Amino acid sequence: MEHTQYILGIDQSTQGTKALVLDETGKILSRADAAHRQIINDKGWVEHDPEEIWENTKKAAALAIEKAGIPKEAIAGIGISNQRETSIAFRKDGTPIYNAIVWQCARAAKLCEGIRKTHPEAEALIEQRTGIRLSPYFPAAKIAWILENVPGARKLAEEGELRYGTMDTYLVYRMTGGKVYRTDRTNASRTQLFDIRKLSWDADLGRIFQVPISNLPEAVDSDGDFGSTTLDGVLPHPVPIRGVLGDSHAALFGQGCLSKGQVKATYGTGSSVMMNIGETPVASRHGVVTSIAFARSGQVAYCLEGNINYTGAVITWLKDDLGLVQSAGETEALARTANPADHTYLVPAFTGLGAPWWSDSARGILTGLSRTTKRAEIVRAALDCIAYQITDVCRAMEEDAGMPIQELRVDGGPTKNRYLMQFQSDIAKLPVLVPPAEELSGMGAAYMAGLALGICQEEKLFAPAGTTKYLPQMAEAERTEKLAGWRQALSQVLGEERK
């Protein structure tokens, strides 16, 4: 009788590192989490300690295996998903020369402004080759900042002694004792140093940012060979790492969005909405970006993506800042008691608006208030604005892709809110599918590894067992009226010309 094999999924995210143990059918047997410090200085710079994250990765993995109650030798493969855009530089021995600079950190803004002034043609070139706009958000500018500001960094880079990239690269390097220096194509596509059509590091982009591309890791398929590891002795024998993806890409894969036109939305602090657009990249003209969705078995799938700044964070604002609710769970019942005749709208532009509007100067507004507006109506408006924003991104993607979306697959904590999910279905006029598990990023990376190793079968992993489905129920006239009200509220924030 064959013994069961298990996959270890590691999700190295912004707040912490989680480890999952999955069986051959993709079922999660256990989960363990290890939080790390958010190092924030008086300038608002955000960093993580790479050594702490490496230790936490081993700790979470060991605890997850222990909680699963399986023999350590039964772990047959490892998949890694990571916080995208967080950037790190380290020596050949694996020692970081500086803390990891977190994706949220905008310290390289002046550097980007300098590029705009000295290379006026650069913005168009960057967007054309990478699918994304010049921004301090991405690793190219962050690595350039390290090379300019960390003593000795530029010299190490010029001597070929420096390694740099995203957190997956660092973890793979540490896991394999420095034997494997690789990243996957999804993470590479988010660096602003990678040509997403030629699938290679771009010398012109390297010159623009003054980042030597010869020091970058080899970029391979998401199911490529990333070496083997014992996780520094956590495992009794070396186990192959065969799945590596950025967290949003891993969630897209974990949701089973394997075909052109399939879409997922992750409801977190903000939201990532991502559409698989197949084997040919499409340049966005409607406020979203183009990246690599995933690459496996030599085939690359591209995606459109829209990132929204405030979705789940709006619920946190209701609770922590306004004190209108004591827990996120209260919002569902309150929203259901709101007066149907009330027309209050919230546009949550607390620090500007993300996709598809892209206005850094926009500020939030609560509009349409009347004597019918009380606590329940404000709470409902806060939930509704999440669905409106995601619908706007979906419509932009349909325009860019030239094809209608058939359904929306969703994940994240707010998907437990049945009022929100029904309203999302109604306002987007789409079926909304909620899977039984929340850990889609770690699962997606584990699925990729399990499939690459022949441990898992696609039809079993992506069977829709336990999925909750919401179907549109709202009358067309009501939906049209509500969307018109949302557009009017947006116009007050963005100006009439962008309504």
Boundaries of every domain in the chain: 6-245, 257-434+467-499
* Confidence at residue 2, expressed as pLDDT on a 0 to 100 scale: 55
Q: Are 435 and 421 in contact (CB under 8 A)?
A: no
* Confidence at residue 497, expressed as pLDDT on a 0 to 100 scale: 42
Q: Are 21 and 28 in contact (CB under 8 A)?
A: yes
Return the structure tokens found at 406. 């058939």
- The CB density around residue 499, as the number of other CB atoms within 10 Å, is 12
* Confidence at residue 152, expressed as pLDDT on a 0 to 100 scale: 96
Contacts of 161 (CB under 8 A, 6+ apart): 91, 92
Digits of tens for pLDDT over the chain (499 positions)? 357 899 999 999 988 999 999 999 999 999 999 999 999 899 889 999 999 999 999 999 999 999 999 999 999 999 999 999 999 999 999 999 999 999 888 899 999 999 999 999 999 999 999 999 999 989 999 999 999 999 999 999 999 999 999 999 999 999 999 999 999 999 999 999 999 999 999 999 999 999 999 999 999 999 999 999 999 999 999 999 999 999 999 999 999 999 999 999 999 888 999 999 999 999 999 999 999 999 999 999 999 999 988 898 899 999 999 999 999 999 999 999 999 999 999 999 988 888 999 887 889 999 999 998 999 999 999 999 999 999 999 999 999 999 999 999 999 889 999 999 999 999 999 999 999 888 899 999 999 999 999 999 998 888 777 889 999 999 999 999 999 999 999 999 998 545 4
User: What are the CB-based long-range contacts (under 8 Å, 24+) for 359-368?
Assistant: 359/493, 359/494, 359/498, 362/493, 362/494, 363/493, 364/493, 365/489, 365/492, 365/493, 367/488, 367/489, 367/492, 368/342, 368/343, 368/344, 368/485, 368/489
Q: Rounded to an integer, what distance in angstroms lies between the CA atom of residue 243 and that of residue 451?
A: 9
Q: Which CATH superfamily is domain 257-434+467-499 in?
A: ATPase, nucleotide binding domain (3.30.420.40)
Return the structure tokens found at 258. 């394997």
* Confidence at residue 344, expressed as pLDDT on a 0 to 100 scale: 97
CB half-sphere exposure, 476, CA atoms < 13 A: 0
**Three-class DSSP category at 28:** strand
Q: Rounded to an integer, what distance in angstroms lies between the CA atom of residue 468 and that of residue 450?
A: 25
Q: Rounded to an integer, what distance in angstroms lies between the CA atom of residue 403 and that of residue 399?
A: 7
Return the structure tokens found at 189. 């596509």
Q: Are 243 and 423 in contact (CB under 8 A)?
A: no
Characterize 136-158 residue by residue with b for buried, 16 or more Cβ atoms within 10 angstroms of its Cβ, and e for exposed: bbbbbbbbbbbbeeeeebbebbe
Domains 6-245 and 257-434+467-499 share a fold: yes
What spatial distance separates the first Cα and last Cα of the chain, rounded to whole Å? 65
| Residue in 159, 36, 13 with CA at minimum distance from that of residue 91 | 159
* Confidence at residue 462, expressed as pLDDT on a 0 to 100 scale: 86
φ, ψ for residue 387 (rounded to 5)? Answer: -65, -40
Contacts of 341 (CB under 8 A, 6+ apart): 372
> Do β-strands 408-411 and 432-434 pair in parallel, antiparallel, or remain unpaired?
parallel
6-245 in CATH: which number?
Answer: 3.30.420.40
| Residue 73 buriedness (CB in 10 A; 0-12 / 13-18 / 19+) | exposed
